């Protein structure tokens, strides 16, 4: 059948035309287009990747920030606690010291008071002795041969009081 | 576009499909039967001139150059010289016989001899138009990429459409079929084949100039396309591919001393492009035949009276509409199938040993 027999002229021209079209499009057409589109796709993918990385970085940064804030807060509370403890300690120490000081002062005072008391007593005693002597002298004016023997007698007497 | 515009367009395609002018005249003037076979084959086969229509009994034909090398040397002339059985420098168009409708010359003892004929026939002219159109479209698309930084902007309009189609063919057909590694080498050929076939198919559906030629429904055209695929498969076949053909892994008695397997494998090598050739040719040819046949129904039924003729016209139009819509789909599917099978065959020939 005529339909199934390829015509020589048409075969020739089809080969020429298709070959020419193929050559032109291979040289200037399709590789350029597909290459450019591939490039664009690559860029889009890269951009998406970069966006994802940036997002991750931001998320990481946020985490870091939160961590730092939490750390700072913990440090702050620790410092405050420490300060409070220090304050308490210092107050206690001051109180102790004050107490000791007071004790010491008191004791000193006591010692001095005792000493003073003793001195006073001694003086008083002397005074009393003197007064007694004077009194005794006035009482027993007559029989006062020696002051010392009389004083000894008065001291003895006072001690027995 | 609204749906009714689509329907209108398809209707226009049906109405305008080169309504067989001679047939109408025959019926109206002489009352002869309509020769449907003549209409069908006349419209689907090649011709030396491009017959547009018949107007008031005159053929409106675009004359095309004839290039013939006969026994008397080269002859170049316009096809109008040969109209109505005229003879030009001993060349004429055979009315019947083996070389019907072809340029022949008469040999010494009166028998018809077919000279070497590379005339620019209707199909060749159509191929040239399609080739130029395709180059313009693709280079126009490529120009956009040359002028723009494709990483900064995306094209719109026709360029965007072409990019979408090119990338669809590239990424959905070629890449998975040939294989990620080597598809770049074959992509230009397969893309060219796809768009060439697609454009041919689409223009074949347009009933008036510059469409209307039955290009991809011509076996010579599909043969050339299949040959390109054949060479693409076999010229770059891998070692593994040739080993599978020439020394496959089968028991020795199947390949030596009688090369049974080799014969089968070689048959397969040839049948692959052959199937491509016949599939495309038959599909497009059948589509053209169906639409033409349906339109012919209108003229065949003229004799049966206005009622039957009128009702048959409506039916033929409806069917023609459906078939034309189907043909639009087939135009795409056949281009798709040809490209995909070519890609798959190429991919098979590039396989390395596992």
Of residues B187, B218, B225, nearest to A10 (C-beta): B218
Q: What is the pLDDT of residues B156-169, one digit of tens each?
A: 888 889 989 999 99
More confidently predicted of B317 and A140: B317
* Cβ contacts of B260 within 8 Å, gap of 6 or more: B254
DSSP state of B278: H
Nearest-angstrom CA–CA distance, B108 and B88: 17
E strand intervals along chain B: 50-55, 58-62, 65-70, 73-78, 91-93, 103-106, 112-113, 116-117
Radius of gyration of chain B (CA): 24
pLDDT above 90: percentage of residues in chain B? 26
- Tell me which chain A residue has its CA closest to the CA of residue B121: A10
- Tell me which of B40, B102, B125, B131 to substitute to probe the interface with A (most A C-beta atoms closer than 10 Å): B131
More confidently predicted of B250 and A95: A95
Closest CA to B233 of B353, B349, B352, B351: B349
pLDDT at B156: 81
Residue B221: is its pLDDT beyond 80? yes
Helices (H), B3-120: 3-16, 21-25, 36-44
- Residues of B whose CB is below 8 A from A14: 124, 127, 220-221, 224-225
- Retrieve residue B332's tokens: 């795409």
Q: Region A91-97: what's the mean pLDDT?
A: 91
pLDDT at B18: 46
* Cβ contacts of B32 within 8 Å, gap of 6 or more: B26
pLDDT at B32: 58
Residue B21: is its pLDDT beyond 50? no
- Retrieve residue B226's tokens: 């299949």
Q: Mapped to the 3 state alphabet, what secondary structure does B201-256 carry?
A: HHHHHCCCCCCCCCCCCCHHHHHHHHHHHHHHHHHCCCHHHHHHHHCCCCCHHHCC
Which phi and psi angles does B106 have, rounded to 5°? Answer: -95, 130
How do beta strands B50-55 and B58-62 pair? antiparallel
pLDDT at A2: 66
Q: Region B40-44: what's the mean pLDDT?
A: 79
- Residues of B whose CB is below 8 A from A33: 138, 141-142, 145, 162-163, 166
pLDDT above 70: percentage of residues in chain A? 93
- Residues of A whose CB is below 8 A from B151: 39-40, 43
Average pLDDT, chain B: 84
The residues in B 186-215 lying below 8 A from A, measured between CB atoms, are 187-189, 191-192, 196
* Cβ contacts of B38 within 8 Å, gap of 6 or more: none
Residue B199: is its pLDDT beyond 70? yes
Q: What is the pLDDT of residues A51-65, one digit of tens each?
A: 999 999 999 999 999
pLDDT at B22: 44
Q: Are residues A18 and B124, on separate chains, in Cβ contact within 8 Å?
A: no
Q: What is the DSSP string of A12-24?
A: HHHHHHHHHHHHH
Q: Which helix (H) or strand (E) holds B191?
A: helix B183-205
Highest mean pLDDT among B19-28, B36-45, B337-346: B337-346
Q: What is the pLDDT of residues A111-120, one digit of tens each?
A: 888 888 888 8
| C-beta atoms surrounding B155 within 10 Å | 19
Residue B286: is its pLDDT beyond 70? yes
* pLDDT band per the 50, 70, 90 thresholds, residue A19: very high
- Tell me which of B96, B116, B123, B188 to substitute to probe the interface with A (most A C-beta atoms closer than 10 Å): B188
| C-beta atoms surrounding B50 within 10 Å | 21
Q: What is the pLDDT of residues B321-341, one digit of tens each?
A: 999 999 999 999 999 999 999
Q: Are residues A3 and B45, on separate chains, in Cβ contact within 8 Å?
A: yes
């Amino acid at each position: 059948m005529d339909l199934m027999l390829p015509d020589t002229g048409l075969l020739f021209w089809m080969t020429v035309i298709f070959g020419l079209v193929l050559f032109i499009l291979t040289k200037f057409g399709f590789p350029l287009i597909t290459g450019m589109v591939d490039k664009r796709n690559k860029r889009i993918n890269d951009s998406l990747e970069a966006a994802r990385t940036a997002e991750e970085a931001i998320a990481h940064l946020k985490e870091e920030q939160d961590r730092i804030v939490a750390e700072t807060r913990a440090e702050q509370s620790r410092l405050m606690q420490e300060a409070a403890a220090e304050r308490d300690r210092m107050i206690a120490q001051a109180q102790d010291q004050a107490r000791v000081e007071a004790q010491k002062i008191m004791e000193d005072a006591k010692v001095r008071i005792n000493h003073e008391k003793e001195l006073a007593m001694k003086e008083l005693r002397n005074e009393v002795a003197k007064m007694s002597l004077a009194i005794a002298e006035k009482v027993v004016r007559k029989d006062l041969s020696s002051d010392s023997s009389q004083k000894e007698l008065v001291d003895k007497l006072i001690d027995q009081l | 576009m609204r749906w009714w515009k689509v329907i209108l367009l398809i209707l226009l395609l049906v109405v305008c499909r080169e309504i067989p002018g001679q047939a109408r005249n025959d019926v109206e003037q002489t009352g002869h039967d309509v020769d449907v076979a003549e209409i069908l084959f006349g419209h689907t086969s090649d011709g030396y001139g491009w017959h547009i229509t018949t107007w008031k009994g005159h053929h409106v034909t675009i004359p095309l150059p004839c290039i013939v090398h006969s026994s008397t040397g080269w002859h170049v002339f316009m096809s109008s010289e040969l109209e109505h059985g005229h003879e030009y420098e001993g060349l004429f168009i055979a009315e019947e016989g083996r070389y019907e409708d072809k340029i022949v010359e008469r040999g010494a003892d009166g028998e018809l001899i077919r000279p070497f004929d590379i005339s620019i026939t209707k199909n060749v002219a159509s191929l040239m138009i399609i080739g130029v159109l395709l180059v313009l479209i693709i280079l126009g698309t490529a120009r956009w990429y040359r002028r723009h930084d494709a990483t900064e902007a995306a094209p719109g309009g026709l360029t965007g459409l072409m990019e979408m189609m090119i990338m669809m063919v590239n990424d959905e057909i070629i890449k998975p079929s040939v294989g990620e590694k080597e598809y770049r080498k074959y992509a230009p050929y397969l893309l060219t084949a796809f768009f060439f076939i697609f454009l041919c198919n689409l223009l074949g559906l347009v009933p008036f100039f510059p469409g209307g030629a039955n290009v991809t429904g011509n076996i010579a055209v599909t043969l050339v396309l299949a040959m390109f695929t054949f060479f693409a498969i076999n010229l770059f076949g891998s070692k593994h591919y040739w080993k599978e053909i020439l020394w496959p892994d089968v028991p020795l008695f199947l390949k030596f001393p009688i090369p049974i397997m080799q014969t089968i494998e070689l048959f397969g090598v040839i049948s692959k492009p052959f199937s491509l050739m016949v599939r495309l040719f038959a599909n497009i040819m059948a589509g053209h035949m169906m639409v033409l046949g349906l339109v012919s129904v209108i003229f065949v039924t003229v004799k049966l009276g206005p009622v039957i003729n009128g009702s048959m016209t409506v039916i033929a139009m409806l069917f023609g509409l459906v078939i034309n819509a189907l043909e639009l789909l087939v135009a795409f599917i056949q281009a798709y199938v040809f490209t995909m099978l070519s890609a798959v065959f190429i991919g098979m020939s590039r396989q390395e040993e596992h």
